[in-house]
Amino acid sequence: MARTGMRPSGEKTFFAPKKAASRITPGGTVSSQRLFETTDSNTGDEKSGVGRSKHENQESAADLEQSRQLYFGILKPLSASKSTTTEINNALAEIGLTAKPEKIFESIYGFTIELNSKQYAILKNHKFVASLEKDRSMPLMEPIVDGKAADSFNQSEPEVRLEAVIINSGSANQSATSRTIYRDSLAKTGDILPYGVRAVWGGTDISSLGNAGLGTYAFVIDSGILDTTGDLLLNRGWSRSWINGESPFADGNGHGTHVAGTIGALANGRGVVGVAPGAEIVSLKVFDSNGGGASYSTIIEAVNYATKTILCNNLDRTKCVINLSLGGSYSLGLDQAIKNAANQGIQFTIAAGNNGMDVDAFSPASAGDHPYVYTVSAVDSSYRMAAFSNWDDSYLGDDVDLAAPGVGIYSYYKGGKLEYLSGTSMAAPHVAGLLLMGGVRSGLSTTAIPGRVADLFAITALSSIGAGNQLNSSDLMLEGGSSNDTLLGRSGNDTL
């Protein structure tokens, strides 16, 4: 059962993985009848068609043909000397299947393959296969207007979606609390400094360092990113679209552009400034402008592509992040694909989801028990958990790592206009930006909704932000209680 209150304080451990969550994987009863045309001498399984008429056998063959579907699979970890292509082909040959993989995701040990129901039953139980699931669609959940919370996912129809967002007419609630509350303000460079950017930087105006995010890379798997804002540094060489007829820089939905602005909008005196201003943004477009067009396997393919790009170009992995502001029902395969990339030092930020539910039922958010995977819940400017935000407790492992601003976030949207949106989709890119700029740590406590567990607030891991720019007493956040108020400092010599 969930507990109301805070998770224990402390920072995320980078090199010691948290306890892996134990889950029951989705599935159903499958036939034990074998595909082979001869009786298995070891098991005694009856060969296909024995004791049945020719007409019955023809019907069975027709049924099998109709049962053919596309599956995505993840292999168990491989030794450095073995390739995904070799292992999956060896597995297929070993069990006598003539089916061949349609795509191989070499960097994360994944593949897609078209199988009938009997072939699926055989392959999913092979010793090399960690997971094998039917592919399914990933439609966009429509944005929610007027501040209404997102509807829950229909558990009978597992889908992965762009996380719904809430369109607000103004910025986040600014009511007073004992913590420092930041408002959208004017940055030193003349940009708008969104309250969330300032909050995760501990009150510092990051624009004072100029485009300090230059030389870092954010891979945004989303609905595309507009190239018309004039406020984003886009990598045209590595960006890619999986949507026919739509470039990675088309974003009729606006979701991906909003995310990108929060991560890396330039400090250039126009529009907004991001958490890592000047970060190079790689647009990996998996959703079309209407919010459809994707599947679980598309997301996995995009993760593989980003991972391969980072590895093949020998990028500093501490200066790269893959952001996934999307989610759907639980998938062992999708979670494992992300963890396989994370095992190679790739950092991920993932939206916790907008269902107001325990995150264990959703992917890829439930992959947050990996030390390089940061699942992020949403809070408002008063550090209160958003009503729509998913959460997690310690039962089966705690997958939600941090909370970040996700209510009334100002960034670029449809047509390049600036707009206030709310959602955990808006919270995750704040953490993505911090990871690019030297790391993230657990900061202030946040206020839980009764019956849920809140997360500690995400804040920069840096004790300084550059030569001559030490974080000092003017940047302190105050957290009050009743008779035991404390001052949280950073440098060891802060005074009240």
pLDDT greater than 60 at residue 447:
yes
> Quick one: pLDDT at residue 166?
66
Name the DSSP letter for residue 295.
B
At 360, list the tokens: 């264990």
pLDDT-above-90 percentage for the chain: 66
CA distance 436 to 298: 25
Concerning whether 485 is annotated as a catalytic residue, the answer is: no
Pick the catalytic residue: 126, 255, 258, 370?
Answer: 255
CA distance 320 to 50: 58
* 179-198: average pLDDT: 95
Picking from 148, 152, 144, the residue whose alpha carbon sits closest to that of residue 356 is: 152
Contact assessment for residue 359 and residue 385, using Cβ atoms and an 8 Å cutoff: no
> Quick one: pLDDT at residue 44?
34
311 three-class SS: helix
Pick the catalytic residue: 135, 184, 191, 222?
Answer: 222
CA distance 374 to 369: 8
Concerning whether 401 is annotated as a catalytic residue, the answer is: no
* Rounded (10°) angle between helices 332-342 and 296-312: 10
Most confident of 10-19, 36-45, 69-78: 69-78
- Tell me the residue length of the chain: 496
pTM over 0.85: no
Strands (DSSP E) found in 180-235: 185-186, 192-193, 217-222, 233-234
Query: Average pLDDT over the chain, rounded to whole?
Result: 80
Helices (H) and strands (E) in the chain, counts: 8, 27
**Cα 238–chain centre separation:** 19
**Whole-number CA gyration radius for the chain:** 24
Question: Which of 79-83, 225-229, 424-428 is predicted with the least confidence, judged by mean pLDDT?
Answer: 79-83
Phi, psi of 62 (to 5 degrees): -65, -40
Q: Angle CA(70)–CA(75)–CA(79) in degrees, nearest 5?
A: 150
> Quick one: pLDDT at residue 138?
73
Question: Which of 162-176, 287-301, 383-397, 440-454 is predicted with the least confidence, judged by mean pLDDT?
Answer: 162-176
CA distance 254 to 252: 6
Q: What is the DSSP string of 161-181?
A: EEPP-EEESS-------SS--
Name the DSSP letter for residue 474.
G
Contact assessment for residue 202 and residue 283, using Cβ atoms and an 8 Å cutoff: no
For the segment 237-265, what is each residue's pLDDT rounded down to a tens digit? 999 999 999 999 999 999 999 999 999 99
pLDDT greater than 80 at residue 397:
no
Indicate the pairing of strand 192-193 with strand 166-168. unpaired
pLDDT greater than 60 at residue 49:
no
pLDDT band of 139, cuts 50, 70, 90: low
At 233, list the tokens: 């540094």
**Cα 362–chain centre separation:** 11
At 376, list the tokens: 């992020």
Contact assessment for residue 291 and residue 99, using Cβ atoms and an 8 Å cutoff: no
Pick the catalytic residue: 241, 325, 377, 425?
Answer: 425
CA distance 34 to 46: 8
Picking from 430, 409, 413, 420, the residue whose alpha carbon sits closest to that of residue 228 is: 413
Concerning whether 425 is annotated as a catalytic residue, the answer is: yes
pLDDT band of 296, cuts 50, 70, 90: very high
**Residue 404, beta-bridge partner list:** 378
> Quick one: pLDDT at residue 444?
86
At 416, list the tokens: 């390049």
For the segment 141-157, what is each residue's pLDDT rounded down to a tens digit? 544 433 333 333 232 33
CA distance 176 to 155: 39
